[in-house]
Structure 1
Amino acid sequence: MQRIMECSVLFHTDIQIFELFIWCFADSDSILFVSLAILLFLFQIPRLDTPACYLIFRKGKADWLLGQVLMSVLISLAYTMFLLGSSMLLALGGSNVVWGNQWSDTATTLSFAPENFEVALTVVRKTIKLTTPYDCAATIFFLMAQYILFLTLLNLIFSLISGKKAGIVAVIVVSLYAYLLNPDKLTALLHVPEEVRYVANVIVAWISPLNHATYAMHRFGYGNFPSILQSHMVFGIINLGLLLGSWFSVKKTERIFLGGSHD
C-alpha cells in the first residue's frame, strides 16, 4: 500500500477512494493478519460466566444462542467496515482522490508494471477491464466479512464444547492452516514442480477458507478456480454447519447453565 501511494505521488496520478482497500485486501496474507486481530474481541465472547448463565436460564438457550450469532454477525460487519474506513482515510491522505466509479490513473499505470512488482497488481490486471471499483470493493468486503464470521462462529462452537481457551486455540490453528495453504508458500515448501503447480493452486483455492476470501484466488472468466458465488456458497454451508453445531452443543452442554452458588 505504501509503495502504491509513493507511485501516485511520484507520477502525480490520482487514486480512486476504494482502490487502497481493493489492492491491500486482495492478498491472502493481508486478510490473515488483520483477521487475527479479531481475537481481541473473541476473548470476550461468548460469555460463559455466572451472570451469562443466569441470563440463559431466564431467556432460554435458543434466545441466548441467537444473541451470540447476531453479535458475531455485527462484529464481522463492523470490523470489516473499520478496515474499509481506515483504507479510505489513508487514501484521503493523498493529494488526488477521486470518488467516481472508474479506475484511477494510478491503477492504469500500475497495470503495466512487471509481474513481480506487487501481488495486488495481479488483481489490477484482471479487474481493470472486467469490473469497476465499487463492485470490486463490495465483493472483497463481503468475502472478508464471511471469513471473519467463520472465525467468530468457529470460536463459538469450540467455546461451547470445551471452553474459552479451546475456542481461541481453534481460531489460531485454522489461521495457521490457512497460512500454510498459501499457494506460493505451499509449492515452495513441498517443492511442487512447475508443470503441476496450477493444479496445486486450484486445490488449495478450494480447500482453504482463507483462499475463498481472497479475491485474487477466484476465477475471472477462465480456469478451475472457484467463482465469487461459489465461495459465498462454501462460506454459507460452513457457517450454517457451525451454527447447527453450536445449537446441538448448547442443547447437550448443561454445565454452562447451572448458574452460581446457592448463597
Structure 2
Amino acid sequence: MRDIKQAFWIAGQNFYGWKKSPRIWMTFILAAILCLMLSDQIISHAIKYETILQVFEPFIWTYGDASSVMLSSLLLILLFADMPFISQATPYWLVRTKRKIWLAGQIIYVILATVIYNIFLAVMLGIMGAPFSFTGNVWSETAAMLGYGGGESITVPVSIKTMESSTPYMCAAIVFGLVLLYTLFIAVLMLFLNLAAGNMAGVIGAFAVSLYGLLLNPDVFRKLFHFTESQEYRANVFCGWLSPLNQATFPMHSFGYDYLPGIGMSMFIFAILIIALIGLSAVRIKGYNFSFTQTNE
C-alpha cells in the first residue's frame, strides 16, 4: 500500500507542474485548434444545409479518419517532451523509494495525462458542435446525408456500416477507446525509447510509427500499384491488420462480413503492446543512468 501511495504521489507531482508549464498550455491550445480544424467540414455542412448533429458525431466522424488520429497523437510528443520526467524532486524519490516505484509513478502519470488529453479532445469537439446538436441516441440527418453521398466534396469519413452497426453513444465509446489505446501505445513507446536510447529516441519513435501508419494505407497502395478490385480488398485487409493507426480507426474493422480485425481484437493487440512496453521499461529502469545536470524545462 505504501508503494502504491508513493507511486501516486510521484504522478501527482508531475501534474502539479502543469499550471506553471507553458508547454502544457501550448499542447492543449494546439489541441483545441486542431479540433476546430478537423471538425470544420461537418459543422459547416450542418450550418449550410440547416441540419443538426448528434452531440458525439463531430468526435465520431473526426476520429473515424486515420490522419486525424495521427495528428492528435503527435501532440503527445509536445505533452510528454520531458520524458522520463526527471525533475529536482527525482533524487529525493530515488533515495526514499525503489526505481520501479518511481517508474510506476511515471506510468500512472502517462496513463492519466493521456486520458485527460483524449477527454479534452472529445469535449472540445462536443462543444464546437453543441449549438447544432441534440443528445438523443440516434444518428442525425447530417450524418445520413454525408453517409449516402449528400456531402458533395466533403471528405468526412461518414460510414453507412458504422451507422447500421451501432448507436452514437456506443460508437463514441468505441472510438474513444480505440483512440485512447493508440495514444497510450504511442506515449508508452516514447517512455520506453527514452529510457533505452535517450530523450530524442522517443520523439523519433513516435514519428516513425506515425509515418509507418500513414504510409501503410489502402489508398496509398491503390494509387501506387493500380490494384484490381480483388487486390484492393486484400490490401485493405493487410493494412487493417498491420497498421496500428488503422486499428485505431473505427471504420477499418470487421463488422461481421470481412477479414478485417474486430474491435475487440484491436483493443487486445493494443493492450498487449502497452503491457509489453511497460514491462520492457521496468527492465530498462534497472540500469538507467539518471542525469541531474538539467532539471528544469
Q: If the length of structure 2 is used for normalisation, what is the TM-score?
A: 0.80
Greater RCO structure (CA 8 Å; 6+ sep): 1
Alignment-mate amino acid for residue 52 of structure 2: D
Find out whether 1:249 has 2:287 as its counterpart. no
Q: CA deviation at 1:240?
A: 0.9
1:113 aligns with 149
Q: CA deviation at 1:187?
A: 3.1
For 2:273 and 2:178, locate their aligned partners in 1 and report how far apart those are by CA, in whole Å: 14
2:26 aligns with none
Matches within 5 A, 1:146-225: 146-225=181-260
Write out the 4+ residue segments of structure 1 that deviate beyond 6 Å after TM superposition. none
Q: Deviations over 1:155-211 (max 9, x none)?
A: 111111111111111111111111111221233234444431111111111111111
For 2:211 and 2:60, locate their aligned partners in 1 and report how far apart those are by CA, in whole Å: 24
Q: Deviations over 1:101-133 (max 9, x none)?
A: 11112122223216985554442x112222111
1:39 to 63, 74, 77: 77
Q: Cα distance 1:115–1:193, how it changes in 2: closer, same or farther (>3 A)?
A: farther
Q: 2:85 touches 2:106 (CA, 8 Å); kept in 1?
A: no
Query: Which deviates the most, 41-50 or 219-228?
Result: 41-50
Q: Cα distance 1:108–1:193, how it changes in 2: closer, same or farther (>3 A)?
A: closer
Find out whether 1:63 has 2:101 as its counterpart. yes
Q: RMSD value over aligned CA atoms?
A: 2.0
For 2:136 and 2:75, locate their aligned partners in 1 and report how far apart those are by CA, in whole Å: 32
Q: If the length of structure 1 is used for normalisation, what is the TM-score?
A: 0.90
1:21 to 40, 45, 59: 59
Q: Deviations over 1:27-53 (max 9, x none)?
A: 000100111111111212212456424
Q: CA deviation at 1:85?
A: 0.8
State the percentage of identical aligned residues. Answer: 34
Paired residue total: 255
For 1:201 and 1:168, locate their aligned partners in 2 and report how far apart those are by CA, in whole Å: 28
2:122 to 84, 90, 95: 84
Alignment-mate amino acid for residue 181 of structure 1: L
2:23 aligns with none
For 2:218 and 2:102, locate their aligned partners in 1 and report how far apart those are by CA, in whole Å: 40
Q: 2:216 touches 2:239 (CA, 8 Å); kept in 1?
A: yes
Alignment-mate amino acid for residue 76 of structure 1: T
Gaps of 5+ in 2: 1-38
Gaps of 5+ in 1: none
Find out whether 1:103 has 2:139 as its counterpart. yes
1:73 aligns with 111
For 1:238 and 1:147, locate their aligned partners in 2 and report how far apart those are by CA, in whole Å: 10
For 2:109 and 2:221, locate their aligned partners in 1 and report how far apart those are by CA, in whole Å: 35
Q: Deviations over 1:115-153 (max 9, x none)?
A: 985554442x11222211100001000100101100110
For 2:79 and 2:206, locate their aligned partners in 1 and report how far apart those are by CA, in whole Å: 12
